[in-house]
Chain A
Amino acid sequence: MSFLVDLLTKQGLVTAFALVGVIIYLSHLISKYLTGGRIHGSAIAILAGLALAYAGGRITGGLKGIADIPMFAGIGLLGGNLLRDFAIVATAFEVDTVQARRAGLLGAFALGLGVIIPFTIGVVVARFYGYTDAVSLTTIGTGAVTYIVGPVTGAALGASSPVMALSIGVGVLKAIIVMIGTPFIAPFIGLNNPRSAMTYGGLMGTVSGVTGGLAATDPTLVPYGALITTFHTGVGCLVGPSILYFTVRAFTGG
């Protein structure tokens, strides 16, 4: 037993790759067989990650979730700021500029609203729950934009880990609601053509939520929603720690 623990500890990052792979595999099985594919496997995997973080916190009493257990310290490297930012930048490579231009003003307009509306709601709700400092308010507000923008902004501003977790929590829950809810609300919001799919992608802005939700509604709409949505995280990461933070700071005065 201690041989195995030593091996997994020594192989830190390799252990993390294996662990995350197993989590994602099991999550996709759960997605397929227990939810009929309605809840995207990625969303379940992220929830499983948060559950592990909760367990890690319980076991060690530390601040870094499962990464505080030496055997799983590699999770800290794999999910750390460095590789996270690196992978997010890489997703920009998939953006097709020709199609992006064709998406036109409507998509850009929706994209702008899709950052401002969730952010404002997130900030107002956080303020209502007693957060007063600009860094926490901005981090929770950007979490309502997507679960990537929240932590990227929080990391850039130096937000505390509990606030980061709240921020991710809001984003993940939003993604799950979008995933499950899209097929049900589609008829009521006119979501049945590429243009409205682009609007939807811009406003909802969560990649796994929008692609999962659109796939369950009408698979042919997926690329249109995803195209705008892929810009969402970039725009959010650009304005989150800058314009949005300055705006909030102007209100809070510090």
Chain B
Amino acid sequence: MTIYGVALLAICTLIGVGLGDLLGMALHVKANVGGVGIAMVLLISARVWLSHRGALSAGIKLGTEFWATMYIPIVVAMAAQQNVLSAASGGPMVVIAAVLTVAACAGVVALISRIDKGERP
């Protein structure tokens, strides 16, 4: 049943976001602390548990994977409702931050692959 997958996803999201809210309250911040991340860990654990029991049905997979595949479209819709007009005034900042980030990370990849190669027999 597809709804089992959707419901599993919903329950993990509710618990995760709920814990994130509680964590925020406990830490005295007006923020949800890592709720989405906690929900993701819960969903991974649920999938591992279900597949160990052989209970990972096609319906459960369909119900969750459908929403996973909807994530790019949702991001497109999210982009379409941002306040781009006022962000456009901060143009160079966006370019500088993005270029520096990619350059720094590529440099570290080069460094790691060199060290990694050196360590291998």
Contacts and interface: CB of A to CB of B under 8 A. Distances in A.
A115 B112 CA distance: 16
B3 interface: no
B36 A237 contact: yes
Given A78-B74, A125-B93, A161 B44 contact: no
Interface residues of B, number: 75
Contact of A87 (B17, B74, B106, B110): B74
Interface residues of A, number: 104
B117 interface: yes
A48 B108 CA distance: 32
Interface in B78-92: 78-88, 90
Contacts of A92: 39-41, 43-44
B79 A53 contact: yes
A161 B86 CA distance: 9
Most buried by B among A80, A85, A188: A85
Interface of A: 16-17, 20-21, 23-24, 42, 45-54, 56-58, 63-67, 72, 75-76, 78-80, 83-95, 97, 106, 110, 113-114, 117-118, 121-122, 125-126, 128-129, 140, 143-144, 147-148, 151-152, 156-158, 161-162, 164-166, 168-174, 177-178, 181, 185, 188-191, 195-196, 199-200, 203-204, 208, 234-235, 237-242, 245-246
